[in-house]
Amino acid sequence: MPSDHALAALFAPVDVRQSLNDLYAWAEEIDSIPHKAREPAIQAMRFAWHRESVADLFLTPRKVRRHAAYQGMAGLLGRGVGITAENLTRVIDAVEDGTLPERLIDEAALLAIMDRRWGTLTQIAARLCGGESDEALICASARATGLAHWCREFGYRAGTKMALIPETALTAAQFNIHRLASGREPDLAHSAFSGVIVLLEAELAKLEAGGKCPPDLFPALAPARLARATLAKARASKDLYRKDFHRPQIARQFDLLKASLSGRF
């Protein structure tokens, strides 16, 4: 099933589309680490391996690991698109921080993870699309996309005791990650998570207030359009543990097509 980013990339010119797909395939590989390795020590080793693999890409001569994601990234870097090792390492660090509850102190820490993970990716994608940079639009789009992803992963993150709800919100609700992981208190979990839903709503409101998306930037920012359906489901759900956030490909494509015609998210 194509990801939201892969579907959005279809709106880019053919030459740009390949670059976007190479970028997104690498990012999805980093995102998959907590799903492929449940033990924290194994996760840490895999994150370290990817940091080393990124460093290798920027050696002279370039060293490319035998991995599809890095072979794609080597091709992308060969096109001279101005991506740095710091850009890619920032994404890896943010994904790792997103697995550690102790790093998610408050909402500011959550937004910092969104900015480093999704913001960095969206900024690179915007450069690849060659559109005029609009930092406010890029930031709101990236945060909305990331927060929606966070909502869709509620059940998995809660069950594996990954970072999910800021510590300040858990404390205010007299809740903790162990009770959250049990899944036995869905009403309290939803209440504690409501701050994240409010953040998503706020970023989507910023996008709406920002007016039309520049056409050149649309393939980079379009995944934020699909965050609206996630917001509606998260608001309405009585049990986020069992909420099915999956949407058929055709429904997501239709949403993106409407957004491409109107220029609005």
Alpha carbons 128 and 156: distance in angstroms, whole number: 32
pLDDT at 131: 67
> What residues in the chain have per-residue pLDDT under 50?
none
Q: Give the model confidence (pLDDT) of 126-146 as tens digits.
A: 999 986 678 999 999 999 999
Q: Give the model confidence (pLDDT) of 221-249 as tens digits.
A: 999 999 999 999 999 999 999 999 999 99
pLDDT at 140: 97
Distances (CA, A) of 191 to 13, 21, 177, 187: 43, 37, 14, 6
Q: Which two tokens stand for residue 259?
A: 């957004």
Task: Give the chain's radius of gyration (CA, Å).
Answer: 18
Domains of the chain: 4-262 (1.10.600.10)
Phi (first) and psi of residue 258, to 5 degrees: -60, -45
pTM of the shown model: 0.96
What is the separation of C-alpha 216 from the centre of its chain, rounded to a whole number of angstroms?
21
pLDDT at 132: 65
